[in-house]
Each structure stands twice: as structure tokens, then as C-alpha cells.
Amino acid sequence: MIYARFEWRGSVRYGRMRSAGGTRIEVLMGNPIEGDAALDGRAVDAGEVRMLAPLVPGKIVAVGRNYGDHIAETGMGAPVVPRLFFKPPSSVIGPAEPIVYPGQSRQVEHEAELAVVIGRTARKVSPEQALRHIFGYTCGNDVTARDIQKADGQPSWAKAFDTFCPLGPVIATGLDPTGLDVSCHVNGTLTQHANTSLMLMSVADLVAYISAAVTLEPGDVILTGTPAGVGPITPGDEVAVTIAGVGTLRNPVVSGSQ
């Protein structure tokens, strides 16, 4: 099933679609991620609504250096332990919303990533049980002010700016997270292309590792790391992250220092 969140007739609603790329949205009452949604009985066309980020996340936990080819391009070694950091919920934007290039940076980069949406509270779960706690998957872009990251020595601040966490366009349930194609285009040119089978820590291992220390709750998001091909974006660009079974998340880049 495909879940969307959108603005319709002045209110924010969730809806569901039969397939990614579908246009008919069945309107829901309640929040499907929290398990309390029911059909409203009405349906709308995707063209009649303004699509929003497919959820309002709680925590956003992200992992760095989770693909071997990206580790190689960073010039850093493979991490001894998972490199986890947090992005604030205030950094989230939805499809078609602009990534604002901050005046503090001269090197903002895209990072296409599979985003995991938690659906059931996970505390100290095993890798074998981990996937049962996942609601679904969406496209994420772990936008990073790379110059600030390098100067800072830790990643959180450089990845925390407003608009630096595009998510969407929808949440797909029932996917196998171990074999999804992830790609990124900037202005139509392919910059990143990999498969989640190449992750060093699988989605199940990440949920287990994180939940051993930090309880994951419905609506929390895990960004699972980016493959090789990260690179600069500048005002005027359009960044598009595509994940098989989910669709394409497109965001323009605009200047924040006008």
C-alpha cells in the first residue's frame, strides 16, 4: 500500500493509493502510521491536492558511511562502530518544497538515502524481529553543508539546517529493504545509483542497533546512509531522489541569502 499526506480543502489529511505513481487517493481519517486510520469514504485526485512530507517525524536518526563506495570517495576508513547522528524534525520538507541554500555554506551536497518509517515501538529488538516494527519506506535526502561538516568534525550541525531533510513523495509499505534501487539526479543527470543490498549495516541491523540504546517510536525515521556520488547542489538546481517502489522525490534549490 502507498500512503500520502496532503493538504486538501484547508486541512491536512492522510490518504492511501493502490500503487506508487497512482493518482487516485482514498482519503483517511486519522494517522495510518499510528495505526488509527480509517477510510473517510471520499477519494481525490493527486492533482487536486498539495502533497506534503508523508509524515511529521519524531526523531530522525541517520547513519554515516554505510556504503563501501561512499566510504571510498570520502577518503575516510570504514567506521569501527556505526556513525549515528540526529537530524532535527524542523529540517523536514516535502515534495516540491525548496531546499534553502544557507549563507553560511559554500558547499552544500545531496545525499540520496532510503528512509525507514517506524510503525511500532522498538526497544531492544533483535535483527530478526526488527522489520516488524517498520511501517514503510520513503525517499530521503540527507542534505549536508559539507564545508561546515569538515570544519566541525562531527556531522549533526552541518546536516541540521532548515530544509535539509526532504522526505517523500509517499510511504510505501511491504517492500523488501534489502534489494531496493536508490538513485539521484541533479537537473536530470544521474549522480548516484546503488542498491540497498550494498549497505554495510542492513535496515534490520540498524533498527536493532539503534533500539538497543534509544527507543524508536511510531513516526520516527531512520536515514540509512548514502552511496557514492554525493556532490554539490546550487540555487537553480533540481534534485530528484528515486527509490524503486516508492517513486521520485523532487526538490528545487533556492538561495537563502537574498
Residue 16 vs 142, nearer CB to Mg ion: 142
Residue 141 vs 211, nearer CB to Mg ion: 141
Q: What is residue 211's three-state secondary structure?
A: helix
- Cβ 88 to Mg ion shortest distance, Å: 15
- Cβ 192 to Mg ion shortest distance, Å: 11
Residue 97 vs 142, nearer CB to Mg ion: 142
The three state secondary structure string of 91-120 is HEECCCCCEEECCCCCCEEECEEEEEEECC
- Cβ 91 to Mg ion shortest distance, Å: 12
- Cβ 12 to Mg ion shortest distance, Å: 28
| CA 121-183-137 angle, 5° bins | 20
Count CB atoms within 10 A of the CB of residue 21: 12
- For residues 35 and 218, the answer to whether their CB atoms sit within 8 Å is yes
Could you report how far apart the first and last alpha carbons of the chain are, in Å? 42
- Cβ 64 to Mg ion shortest distance, Å: 6
Residue nearest to Mg ion (CB): 142
Residues near Mg ion (CB under 5 A): 111, 142, 226
Say how far apart CA 67 and CA 185 lie, in whole Å.
18
Place of cell 516540491: 96
Count CB atoms within 10 A of the CB of residue 75: 6
